[in-house]
Structure 1
Amino acid sequence: MKIKKLEIESFRGIPNKQTFSFENKSGKPISTLIFGDNGSGKSSIIDALEFNLQGKIERSDSIKNQFRASVLSLKNHIKKGAKTKSYLENNSCNERNINVSFDEDKQKLKFEKSNKSLHPNFQIAPIALRRNDIISYSTTPVQNKQILFWKFIYNSSSNDNENSIDNVLIQNLDTERIELKSKRRIEFENLAKSLKTEINNIPKINTNEYEAFVKNKIRKGLTNKQYNSLKQSGKLRGVNEKAVSISSYISQITKEIRDIEAKIKNVKSINSSSKESKKNEVKKFLSQASKHLTIAFKSISTVDFIKDIEVLIGELTEVSFEIKVTLQNGKTVSPSSVFSEANLDLLILLLYTSIIKESNKYGQSKLLILDDVLQSVDSTIRLNFLDYLVKEYSDWQLIISAHDRLWLNQIRSIFRRNSHVFKEIEIYRWNFSTGPQIFELGNDNNNNALQIALNTKNTQIIASQAGLFLETICNKLSMNLNTSIQRKIEDKYTMGDLWPGIKKHFKKTELRELTEEIDKLLHIRNLLGAHYNEWSISLSTHEVLSFAKNILEFYEKTFCPNCQSWLRRNNFCECKRLELK
């Protein structure tokens, strides 16, 4: 079960109703790359996906979190709440909203999820990995590291979702408890002023002395019932009504504090290490998921001194988790003593992705989201890891976000090299009122931007996109062809450098006339597409359209949509379906 579309409204950085498609032209869900600058709304889409399918945000059930950006769009009135709706591969829909109402008793806003259950196809393990997952693993002590995975395994045949640990929920409840205690302290000060006494003269709230103090000193010996009866009849005399009101409010706050403390105790009890079913479930997942760590790590990393990687579960304490590395010389050490930070990150990534893959055996659908998780990883490691991931998860729907264009190009290259079909969502602008503005590009149709430009009938837009697209073609072809410029990965050349060599390569092929036509009209790119000058306005629409259509034809004869590869030196593509004579 994969995702086809997601509708989002008033959720984080997406204030208005907006639909994001993860399907190709035929309606089949495919892998998707989400590209945009930091702060452009990528994580809003990822968080909405996780919330819709799993009812969580960054692994937490909590809607409000002071350490996280607001879940609700701040552009809209808070009572509007938020809405998400996903359309899945079997044409079913899953709707999950955030409803906001005012609690009259507690005099504050109440936030509730319309649907609290995990979607049955996404109830085993998280669908999204973030950079924080690597950091959390690195900073959690070995003695308690198993507990870290308790919130990573939501549900299975032997445990239910209520048993998943939620430290953020506990943290939020504790913050609310502290705020209420602070508010109660202020009310005690108000009570002391009303009674014209020192605050130290008022007994502590959770004592019999306090109850007696309120009855005898404030209500003048009256019970609550007697006080309310006399007040309603207008016969109440000699009682400080303001002090009575303040003391009642203090009692109400105290009750809320006790309720919160009970919730914290309950959450901690549910997730205590005495829960054998949870401990056994975590151990089982970790044991199965870590079986192939050694092979996977050695196939990705460049280190050559590793013989074996072993996982030790519950050796130090009931909830301990260790990874031990055996070197080629027979010594056994901890990873941190021999691995660089890049290799430690790789080890953690492999462990997490293995757990998610293991969840598929329990019925979880093949969906994996990487939210900028690889951006800070060493460049060689991340390339090798992604290549491994695309091979091992070839039939999974992968959704990857990125904010670096070089990294985006590398992801594209790996996907295409492995014939993994994908599309792109580029967020090119975001603002507070309208949210992200996106541009979709299908992997099976790289010329989308030029096709869209042609539909505008605007010659300047067409010329600009045609020139940009030709520059892209030149960059790709020059890496494969035997031209006068010998290309290297990540080098930088302009179209002026590359085009002459490419034109020369095709001089003795069937593309000779086409490349000559493009060359004749190449001035259009500079006169109209890239610069302003008065004489460029005199160019005919026919010339501009011919330039664009010739480039489209050139693309179609040099790029194979089947194997997603460009023509090589032998004038064949990788699968040899595309042949140049």
Structure 2
Amino acid sequence: MTQVDLPSTYEAISRIGEALHRSRNPRSLGPRFDRLTDEQLDSRRFDYIKHQNYEPAAKASLELLRRAIQIALKQSTPKNHQRVIVALAWLIRGASVPKRSATGRQMVHEVNGGVEGFPRSLRQWVSNGGHINARHLTELTGCTPQEWRTFVDQVTATTKFVVAPAADRIRIEDRTPLDLDVATRLARIASSATSSAPVDRLPEYDRSDAKLRVTEVSVVGFRGSPARVALDLTKNGKPVDILLWGDNGVGKSTLVDGLEFALQGRVDRSSDFTSGLRPKVRNLLSPKAAANVTLSDGSRVERSLVTNGNGRDTPSHLDVRAGFRIAPIVIRRADILRFLDADALSRGAVFFDYFPEASGALGVRPDEELKLLEEERSLLRVVRADLAEQLQTLYPDQRRDLGIATELDAFVHDLLLEVSDAPGEAAVDALPETVRELVHELREAQNRLRSIKKRLERGVELLNPRAYKSQFDRVVPALQSVGGELTDSFITITRAKHVVALDVLVAKSGPMSLDVVVRFDNGTAALPQQAFSEGYKDLVALLFFLAVTKKAGDLGQAKVLVLDDALQSVDASVRVGVMDYVLQNFKDWQLVITGHDRGWLAQVRGLFSRRGRSVVERTIARWTFSEGIHVTGATRLRIETLRAGLEQHDERMTSAAVGILLEEICHELSWRVETSVKRREGDRYTIGDMWPGLCKLLRTVGLAETVDSVNQRLDLRNLLGGHFNDFAESIPWSDVEVLAEDVLHLYEAVHCDQCGAWIRKVTDKTYLCTCGALSLTK
């Protein structure tokens, strides 16, 4: 940048100022201004110019210029330099009017040099245009045109130097392009942050509900259930973990949504119950939509949908118990997508419905507010079109677009003229009631649409960080604190030794930003979306929600958590690790796990058993439009099917169930009790492969008689249960019944009804279930 000599510039300005003053007042006569303040002097100058007293005006301007130069020499700020240029401009004006105004205007225009803050009256004077007359210029300044041009260039260079931001003065030539590797920069920010920096305190919440658990949830007229349906979350009268299974579309979400609605007044973290863009909450066959939850202290929470004055469905009451105010109680696949799809600059807002004020309403996400407005506008547009069409049907000859407010006004005006010469109240009453109702509703829809349009136009204000600063400030401490737990859980589950850390940065790339940066063992860094598979990205999102939810539990949230099909979105390769992590880190929480994959159910059941957690299985067996949801006990595939076959004396059903249950016994025990099996390609085994080795062991632990009896009739499972054989019809029921009873006896001897676990080898001679209620010894 060109070197600038500030003292030299201001000395030159001072010389020009003196010359301007002499041109107007050669004898330097006039009033003294040394005792006046700058404000008083400026006011005096304005009055002189107003009354065309140009000589004292020039002297007052010179005095202001001298004072401005003294201040600017002490501190060369843009504002102080601006005062110098403005004072010079006033002096030029005072010296040049009226006979040399054209030259004065051009002189002011040239010395301005981009300075802002010129008074309006001065700007208007300059804007009238002008040109420099060489003789007038010399008379005013004593300069030739060339000398004036040199002076202007010096002032302009000084102005650019002083007014430009200080950092802009630094320029380095031949630099490489700006490095836009965001991940590396964020990683550096994370590593340079002071580890011991204090984290803002989270609010002190009411902890009186912290020990509450859920014992029952019931819904009626809610989502997919027109009739009342209840889900029992207890075992032996105590609240326990629940595995809620069923095919897609049979109503699992109805019960989960009912639990969330009753406790928190929301569904899928949304308070919009009228939208046509999401599943309808109010059942089509029931006038009432309600959900009830019974808690472990015996209290009940009931909430229903009511229609407000705007025709929208809202909760019957908005209050939420202290134990369910801090965070959402359900984590869904949709939450994972919200986290992944949100731009990092606004991702922090995904958690705005966590950690609200200690005493107040639940938190609200700004994107949810805008979505509610957008959806209401869509609904009202349909309402407007329908009402306009109904009016058009009544008056087919009219050609106006009645959805437009001005067109509706013109239409109504013509109607009133048709029934009366003076369209007043009497004329309105003369219109058919149907017409009056349609016009009234249509105008109401138009007014609401106009109001929503204005609010949506202010949508940027809704997303303005300042509007949500207090809410974000409460969320920040919790988000800042989960980085270590996120790293530990991710590495434990994935065993990804090349990952060193997952750093969490809040409000670094933007006021409401949330960034996750992956650091690798080779020193590089990347964002999850740059380096991870879809499954790993899902895992990061899920673990983040789990960590924040756990933080809410530490603050007094009732420890009830629903994972609604959330785990099945994670890669199968790490799904078991995630579930085991949840069981280990949410030991004192009541968990409700939903799913539809029966293979995954078997894995989850085994994980609960190995962790010694008391769990109950509930199955949604079927759903019909008219009757809704039918909830049963554990999935009826093996033991219940066998018992049902015995009760119905159905030899084929019983034989088939015997074969399936015996296969399950062989599959579960062969590795738990360590029996010998000859390996096959692909490790796919049948009863024929596993049963002989298991028989050998079972005979040594007191089950020889049962095993021998099973072997005598084992062929029945194929003769009756696996194939059609006409001669099999002659097989007596008693043989089928004995085989079934033997297999049931065997199942009850190796599978504990209390803890739900299979026996496993403890020592060379001892086999126990998890709780120790079943014990077999050699």
TM-score normalised over the length of structure 1: 0.83
Cα separation, 2, equivalents of 1:421 and 1:247: 62
| Cα contact 1:51–1:96 (8 A) shared by 2 | yes
Aligned-residue CA RMSD in angstroms?
4.0
> In the TM superposition, what whole-angstrom CA distance separates every residue of 1:334-368 from its partner, at most 9, and x where no partner exists?
22222222222111111001111111123221121
The reply to whether residue 128 of structure 1 matches residue 330 of structure 2 is: yes
Q: Tell me which amino acid in the other structure corresponds to 1:326.
A: R
- Equivalent in the alignment of 1:96: 303
- Equivalent in the alignment of 2:20: none
Cα separation, 2, equivalents of 1:203 and 1:66: 21
Residues 215, 456 of structure 1: alpha-carbon distance in 2 compared, 3 angstrom cutoff: closer
Residues 178, 532 of structure 1: alpha-carbon distance in 2 compared, 3 angstrom cutoff: same
The reply to whether residue 255 of structure 1 matches residue 462 of structure 2 is: no
Cα separation, 2, equivalents of 1:410 and 1:156: 40
Is 364-373 or 173-182 further displaced after alignment?
Answer: 173-182
SS where residue 592 of structure 2 aligns?
A: strand
Cα separation, 2, equivalents of 1:488 and 1:397: 42
> In the TM superposition, what whole-angstrom CA distance separates every residue of 1:58-93 from its partner, at most 9, and x where no partner exists?
11111123232322333x15xx13232222222222
- Equivalent in the alignment of 1:559: 751
Residues 134, 163 of structure 1: alpha-carbon distance in 2 compared, 3 angstrom cutoff: closer
- Equivalent in the alignment of 1:13: 224
Q: Which runs of 5+ in 1 are unaligned?
A: none
- How is 1:136-535 mapped onto 2 (pairs within 5 angstroms)? 136-151=338-353, 153=354, 155-157=356-358, 160-161=361-362, 163-165=364-366, 166-167=368-369, 168-180=371-383, 182=385, 205=405, 219=416, 227-229=424-426, 250-261=442-453, 272-273=464-465, 274-441=467-634, 447=639, 450-451=642-643, 454=646, 461-485=653-677, 491-531=683-723, 533=725
Cα separation, 1, equivalents of 2:421 and 2:594: 61
| Cα contact 1:422–1:442 (8 A) shared by 2 | no
| Cα contact 2:331–2:562 (8 A) shared by 1 | yes
Residues 161, 97 of structure 1: alpha-carbon distance in 2 compared, 3 angstrom cutoff: same
> In the TM superposition, what whole-angstrom CA distance separates every residue of 1:463-492 from its partner, at most 9, and x where no partner exists?
443433222111111223444425799954
> In the TM superposition, what whole-angstrom CA distance separates every residue of 1:426-484 from its partner, at most 9, and x where no partner exists?
334333233344431299xx955545555556555544434332221111112234444
Q: Which runs of 5+ in 2 are unaligned?
A: 1-211
Residues 253, 44 of structure 1: alpha-carbon distance in 2 compared, 3 angstrom cutoff: closer
> In the TM superposition, what whole-angstrom CA distance separates every residue of 1:149-206 from its partner, at most 9, and x where no partner exists?
113x16341652264542442332232344356568769989998667x77xx99747
| Cα contact 2:385–2:403 (8 A) shared by 1 | no
Cα separation, 2, equivalents of 1:434 and 1:20: 16
TM-fit CA distance, 1:391:
0.7
| Number of equivalences | 559
Cα separation, 2, equivalents of 1:464 and 1:484: 26
User: Would you tell me which structure has more strand in proportion to its own residues?
Assistant: 1
Residues 3, 308 of structure 1: alpha-carbon distance in 2 compared, 3 angstrom cutoff: same
TM-fit CA distance, 1:226:
6.0
Cα separation, 1, equivalents of 2:243 and 2:681: 21
Cα separation, 1, equivalents of 2:684 and 2:226: 39
Q: Tell me which amino acid in the other structure corresponds to 2:258.
A: A
Cα separation, 1, equivalents of 2:724 and 2:611: 42
The reply to whether residue 60 of structure 1 matches residue 60 of structure 2 is: no
Structure with more contact order per residue of length (Cα contacts < 8 Å, sep ≥ 6): 1
> In the TM superposition, what whole-angstrom CA distance separates every residue of 1:350-399 from its partner, at most 9, and x where no partner exists?
10011111111232211211122222321122121111111111221221
TM-fit CA distance, 1:40:
2.3
Residues 531, 87 of structure 1: alpha-carbon distance in 2 compared, 3 angstrom cutoff: farther
| Cα contact 2:251–2:623 (8 A) shared by 1 | yes
Cα separation, 1, equivalents of 2:568 and 2:443: 51
Q: Tell me which amino acid in the other structure corresponds to 1:279.
A: F
- Equivalent in the alignment of 1:579: 776
Is 372-381 or 92-101 further displaced after alignment?
Answer: 92-101
Residues 436, 159 of structure 1: alpha-carbon distance in 2 compared, 3 angstrom cutoff: closer
Residues 339, 112 of structure 1: alpha-carbon distance in 2 compared, 3 angstrom cutoff: closer
- Equivalent in the alignment of 1:2: 213
> In the TM superposition, what whole-angstrom CA distance separates every residue of 1:108-141 from its partner, at most 9, and x where no partner exists?
x653422333343222211111212222212111
Residues 122, 88 of structure 1: alpha-carbon distance in 2 compared, 3 angstrom cutoff: same
| Cα contact 1:83–1:98 (8 A) shared by 2 | yes
Residues 536, 92 of structure 1: alpha-carbon distance in 2 compared, 3 angstrom cutoff: farther
Q: Tell me which amino acid in the other structure corresponds to 2:382.
A: E
> In the TM superposition, what whole-angstrom CA distance separates every residue of 1:16-71 from its partner, at most 9, and x where no partner exists?
222222222x1212112222222222222222222222221111111123232322
Q: Tell me which amino acid in the other structure corresponds to 1:516.
A: D
Is 413-422 or 165-174 further displaced after alignment?
Answer: 165-174
| Cα contact 1:559–1:567 (8 A) shared by 2 | no
Cα separation, 1, equivalents of 2:233 and 2:283: 23
Cα separation, 2, equivalents of 1:532 and 1:482: 36
> In the TM superposition, what whole-angstrom CA distance separates every residue of 1:189-233 from its partner, at most 9, and x where no partner exists?
89998667x77xx99747xx997x68987656999996223565x
SS where residue 662 of structure 2 aligns?
A: helix
Cα separation, 2, equivalents of 1:567 and 1:216: 87
Q: Tell me which amino acid in the other structure corresponds to 2:373.
A: I
User: Would you tell me which structure has more helix in proportion to its own residues?
Assistant: 2
TM-fit CA distance, 1:143:
1.1
| Cα contact 1:173–1:264 (8 A) shared by 2 | no
Q: Tell me which amino acid in the other structure corresponds to 2:712.
A: K
Is 449-458 or 278-287 further displaced after alignment?
Answer: 449-458
Cα separation, 1, equivalents of 2:593 and 2:421: 62
Residues 228, 404 of structure 1: alpha-carbon distance in 2 compared, 3 angstrom cutoff: same
TM-fit CA distance, 1:523:
3.4
Residues 386, 194 of structure 1: alpha-carbon distance in 2 compared, 3 angstrom cutoff: same
| Cα contact 2:384–2:442 (8 A) shared by 1 | no
- Equivalent in the alignment of 1:82: 289
SS where residue 161 of structure 1 aligns?
A: coil
| Cα contact 2:219–2:230 (8 A) shared by 1 | yes
